[in-house]
Amino acid sequence: MKKGQRLTDLIGEEKARRGVLVLAHTYQPPAVQAAADVTGDSFALARAAKGRPEKRVVMCGVRFMAETVKLLSPEKEVLLADARASCPMAEQIEPARVLAFKKENPGVPVVAYINTTAALKAVCDVCVTSSSAVRIVSSLREKDILFIPDQNLGAWVQSRLPEKHLILWDGCCPVHRALTAADVIKAKKAHPGALLAVHPECLPEVTRLADMVGSTAEIIAYALAAERGVIIGTERGVWDLLKQRHPEKELYLLAPRKLTCPDMKYTTPRALLGCVRGAGGEIIELDPAVMRGAARCVEKMLELGG
Ligand code: 13P
Ligand code: SF4
């Protein structure tokens, strides 16, 4: 038996013995995903954890994802597998800046992408995921809306909803933001006839050239259904996973040198084993007022069909 498999089996045994649930985002290394009970995008993971009997959850992802699990399951002990793992975009905007905006712009709703800290969500009106953003923004009565933090996802939503006026700030994902139209042209030349699927966190010059723009889960579904080759324009974990599970598929990674999110790669199977055994990681603790405010922001999304 290979060493990697032995470690996966050991994690499996320890999870069962200790009643621990392991969640892994699709951007995690394949060996970490292989040891998880549930894999998927951030909100799908939080939703999945809510319905599970385990009292302890280990989140292999970044901090805002572990916070979202805690918001939906406050009674569980939620552990972030590696305390260094934090989405830079989630922390780009201070709650005080939103509060100042609200004071100056009463009646303008503030929409927060799920990639935000719980403290930021707590001062916003409604949360969105990359797959629900267009639907949720469209369901708001108001025309003027502040959309934070990702200006590229915001620009994508604006392009789908010309009747709305989205106010965008300067936030972005450093990984997806690095992709350019020149990368697309190069990849299309290297793989003629292949379709292009990208995440909406990419620049408008990239989303404009894509055949499909969608969340992690939507990109996976699109790539699996496609009858032609697909160039994947999102963090490489998605491509790694697809290639491992579907080696027969013709899949290419758009600009491989740019598409690694370092924060998503901190967790290793060995460190995960330590977390399951109760050593390592960071227990997520949220201030009760932050918890109430952020939960309200997420519940509003669910109320609006997100
Ligand atoms: P998803 O919500 O599509 O999984 O995206 C999370 C993320 O971090 C995108 O970069
Ligand atoms: Fe954050 Fe971008 Fe990494 Fe996603 S890929 S976790 S948005 S930095």
136 ligand 2 Cβ < 6 A: no
Q: Which pairs count as long-range contacts for 93-101, CB under 8 Å and 24+ apart, including other chains?
A: 93/120, 93/148, 93/149, 93/169, 93/171, 94/120, 95/119, 95/120, 95/122, 95/123, 98/123, 98/124, 98/146, 98/148, 99/123, 101/146
User: pLDDT of 190-199, one tens digit each?
Assistant: 999 999 999 9
Residue whose Cα lies nearest atom 7 of ligand 1: it is: 115
Q: What is the Cα Rg of the chain in Å?
A: 19
57 and 112 share one domain: no
Q: What is the pLDDT of residue 179?
A: 98
The answer on 298 and 166 residing in a single domain is yes
Predicted confidence (pLDDT) per residue in 208-264, tens digit: 999 999 999 999 999 999 999 999 999 999 999 999 999 999 999 999 999 999 999
Tell me which of 25, 26, 41 to substitute to probe ligand 1's pocket, judged by most ligand atoms within 8 Å of the beta carbon: 41
Backbone angles phi, psi at 33, to 5 degrees: -60, -35
pLDDT for position 95: 97
Ligand 2 in reach of 115 Cβ (< 6 A): yes
Q: What is the pLDDT of residues 31-81, one digit of tens each?
A: 999 999 999 999 999 999 998 999 999 999 999 999 999 999 999 999 999
User: Measured between alpha carbons, how far is 88 from 92 in angstroms, rounded to an integer?
Assistant: 6
Q: What is the pLDDT of residue 252?
A: 98
- Give the residue among 103, 19, 108, 110 at the shortest CA–CA distance from 57: 19
**Cβ of 80 less than 6 Å from ligand 2:** no
296 and 152, same domain (yes or no): yes
The residues that bridge with 127 in the sheet, in sequence order, are 112
Are residues 104 and 129 located together in one domain of the fold? yes
- What is the phi/psi pair of residue 188, to 5°? -70, -35
Let me know whether 295 and 155 are in one domain: yes
Query: For residues 184 and 206, is the Cβ–Cβ distance under 8 A?
Result: yes
| pLDDT of 106 | 97
Strand order in the sheet with 195-198: 212-213, 195-198, 230-233, 251-253
Indicate the DSSP class of residue 171.
B
The residue with tokens 């969340």 is: 215
Average pLDDT for residues 92-116, to the nearest whole number? 97
Are 108 and 47 found together in one domain? no
| Residues 93, 147 within the same domain | yes
Grade residue 203 by pLDDT with cuts at 50, 70 and 90.
very high
> How far is 184 from 186, CA to CA, in rounded Å?
5
Residues facing residue 58 across a β-bridge: 22, 79
Give the three-class secondary structure for 95: helix
Are 25 and 153 in the same domain?
Answer: no
Cα 3 to ligand 1 centroid, rounded to whole Å: 30
Q: Would you state the pLDDT for residue 125?
A: 98
Nearest to 151 by CA among 166, 135, 172: 172
Spatial CA neighbour of 44 closest among 32, 61, 19, 31: 61
Range 212-218, long-range pairs (CB < 8 A, 24+ positions): 213/156, 214/130, 214/131, 215/41, 215/129, 215/130, 215/131, 216/25, 216/26, 216/27, 216/40, 216/41, 216/130, 217/26, 217/40, 217/41, 217/44, 217/131, 218/131
Q: Are residues 298 and 152 in the same domain?
A: yes
SS3 2: coil
Question: In which domain, by residue range, is 39 found?
Answer: 3-85+265-283
The CATH number for 292's domain is 3.40.50.10800
**Does 1 have pLDDT greater than 70?**
no
Atom number of ligand 2 nearest to Cα 201: 7
Ligand 1 pocket (Cβ < 6 Å) reads 41-42, 87, 115, 129-130, 173, 201, 215-216, 235
Q: 143-184, pLDDT tens digit by residue?
A: 999 999 999 999 999 999 999 999 999 999 999 999 999 999
Secondary structure letter of residue 60 according to DSSP: E
Predicted local distance difference test score (pLDDT) of residue 268: 95
Q: Which of 235, 236, 266 to mutate for ligand 2's pocket (most ligand atoms within 8 Å of CB)?
A: 235
pTM (2 d.p.):
0.95
Assess whether the C-beta atom of 173 lies below 6 angstroms from ligand 2: yes
166's torsion region: left (phi>0), alpha (psi -120 to 50) or beta?
A: beta
- Specify whether 149 is located in the same domain as 292: yes
Same domain, 270 and 243: no
How many structural domains compose the chain? Answer: 3
Are residues 122 and 161 both part of a single domain?
Answer: yes
Quick one: which ligand is closest to 88's CA?
2
Nearest to 149 by CA among 66, 89, 85: 89
3-state secondary structure of 138: helix
- The pairing of strands 77-80 and 282-283 is antiparallel
Mean pLDDT over each residue of the chain, to the nearest integer: 96
Q: Is the pLDDT of residue 2 over 90?
A: no
pLDDT at 51: 87
